[in-house]
Amino acid sequence: MSGSIALGPMLAIVLVALTALGTVVVWRGELGRGRAVVIAAVRAVAQLAAVSFVITAILRSGWWTGLFVLLMFAVAAVTSARRVGVRLGGIAVAIGGGVLPVLALVLGTGVLPWKPISVVPIAGIVIGGAMSATSQAARRALDELKTRHGEYEAALALGFMRRAAALEICRPSAGQALIPALDQTRTVGLVTLPGAYVGVLLGGASPVQAGVTQVLVLIGLLAAESIAVLLVVQFVAAGLLARD
């Protein structure tokens, strides 16, 4: 029996109902603008529909696959830089610094086969995780330096170098960006069954194969996000990453 989601009118009805539910909760709960949920849902449907058709063609070529991964990285870097309100360079280096070692290790050792069907989803997951961690860490670090500027000045008065003083202020807060990845890894299989596991399982693989894939993804995400957060904190402390 196939585990794939059934396509048809009922799927459309469920998606509309879920969108309406989220919209009403955000609106009536005064959590923000309700239409933001609608816009996000419509964009998700349109973008994934377009990407699905594009990926069908991309997966036939290794070169196109590489270009698509670069496009994902570029979009992630631009999105993160806009979210934080800083220039693109430092953010791109932080995300790339987290993603490249992970992909190089899993591809270079042959653990992940050099096939487009394998590379695209894993690369997308790792890039997305590094993007989220970088955005959170950068925002926390910059906000902390702003709100606790008096403590930063006091550290300078005590003889701390600028970079060391900034690290004392912003590093603990920025490190909290790793909490979601740590919690997800600690509780996998007990609280949640993450996307990679479910996707591989729905694709027809055995539960064991799905579990192995998910472990690789989770630990790879932890490594990528840890490096990205470390880099972004160092950039903020050194004054290389700052809001205009």
**Percentage above 70 pLDDT, the chain:** 90
Angle between helices 88-108 and 62-84 (to 10 degrees): 140
pLDDT (tens digit per residue) in 72-113: 999 999 999 998 888 888 999 999 999 999 999 998 898 888
Q: Are residues 52 and 65 in the same domain?
A: no
Q: Is the pTM of this model over 0.85?
A: no
CA dist 224 and 226 (Å) reads 6
Mean of the per-residue pLDDT values for the chain?
A: 84
Average confidence (pLDDT) over 132-159: 84
Selection from 29, 145, 137 nearest residue 91 by Cα: 137
CA distances from 81 to 44, 203, 225 (A): 21, 35, 16
pLDDT in the model for residue 1: 42
Phi-psi region of 65 (alpha: psi -120 to 50; beta: other; left: phi over 0): alpha
> At 4, is the pLDDT very low, low, confident or very high (cuts 50, 70, 90)?
low
Report the C-alpha gap between 199 and 4 in whole angstroms: 9
**Which pLDDT score is estimated for 39?**
92
SS3 state of residue 61: coil
pLDDT of residue 66: 86
Residue 103: the pLDDT is: 93
Does the residue 153 lie in any domain?
no
Its domain, for residue 215, covers 61-137+177-237
Instruction: Write b or e for each residue in 13-26: b if 16 or more Cβ atoms lie within 10 A of its Cβ, otherwise e.
Output: eeeeeebeebbeeb
Q: Are residues 26 and 117 in the same domain?
A: no
Q: Which of 58, 76, 93 is the last residue of a domain?
A: 58
181 and 210 within one domain? yes
pLDDT at 224 over 50: yes
List, for residues 152-207, the tens digit of each pLDDT value.
Answer: 778 778 877 888 888 888 888 888 888 888 888 888 776 666 666 666 665 666 77
Q: Which two tokens stand for residue 27?
A: 């609106």
Q: What is the pLDDT of residue 73?
A: 94
Phi and psi for 6 in degrees, rounded to 5? Answer: -75, 125
> Do 50 and 26 belong together in one domain?
yes
168: in domain: no
The reply to whether 114 falls in a domain is: yes
Question: Are residues 118 and 204 located together in one domain of the fold?
Answer: yes
Q: What pLDDT is attached to residue 135? A: 93
SS3 205: coil
| Total number of domains constituting the chain | 2
The residue among 42, 58, 74 that closes a domain is: 58
Is the per-residue pLDDT at 56 higher than 70? yes
- Is there a single domain that holds both residue 133 and residue 207? yes
**Domain identity same for 108 and 202:** yes
Q: Which residue has the tokens 């196939």?
A: 2
